Amino acid sequence: DLIANGLTNGEIAQKLFISTTTVDSHRKNLLAKFDAKNTAALIKMAVQLQLL
């Protein structure tokens, strides 16, 4: 939801009290799991699967 709202890795990290490296790692893992080429494609897939 935070990614879909357009927050940067730094903003997400600050909101969740984690490091930007952790956010980046999770984002990369999501991209790989969904075989998405970029964040926009990832969000589109999440909406189609009713995850958002």
pLDDT category, 1, cuts 50, 70, 90?
confident
pLDDT category, 42, cuts 50, 70, 90?
very high
In this prediction, residue 21 carries a pLDDT of 97
Cβ-count burial 7-22 (b if 16+ within 10 Å, e if not): eebeebbeeeeeeeee
- Please give the mean pLDDT across all residues of the chain: 94
**Per residue in 5-41, pLDDT tens?**
999 999 999 999 999 999 999 999 999 999 999 999 9
